[in-house]
Amino acid sequence: MSIISEYFFPSSDGKTLIHVNQWTPVGRDILGVVQIAHGVAEYVLPAPIPRERAMEAALEHYGYCADIVDQIFETVGALADGLPQSTVWYFWWD
């Protein structure tokens, strides 16, 4: 069960309204936050992943969005090294 809210707020240029749909779980913890806008998704974790799960997570991340490795980290191992240091994951598709 979730509480679903829909609202709008003005963009920074003051010309566009940003449309938001929010799903908030009832009776369980929030596991993360996803923001999707213009082909970019941002996922915010409540805590960084443990180092022992970093390579597995990096492979999943790469499988879903190869651009993070191909354009930024250059190797899946470099992405895995960075994941335990952050609670924000970025996905984009060019």
Residues 6+ apart with CB under 8 A from 14: none
Name the residue ranges covered by the structural domains of the chain: 2-92
Residue 89, burial from CB neighbour count under 10 angstroms (0-12, 13-18, 19+): buried
Residue type, 1: M
pLDDT of res. 81 = 95
Q: What is the pLDDT of residue 75?
A: 96
pTM > 0.75: no
* Contact indicator for 48, 87 with CB cutoff of 8 Å: yes
Residue stretches of the chain with pLDDT short of 70: 31-33, 37-38
* pLDDT, position 51: 94
Distance CA 35, CA 20 (A): 9
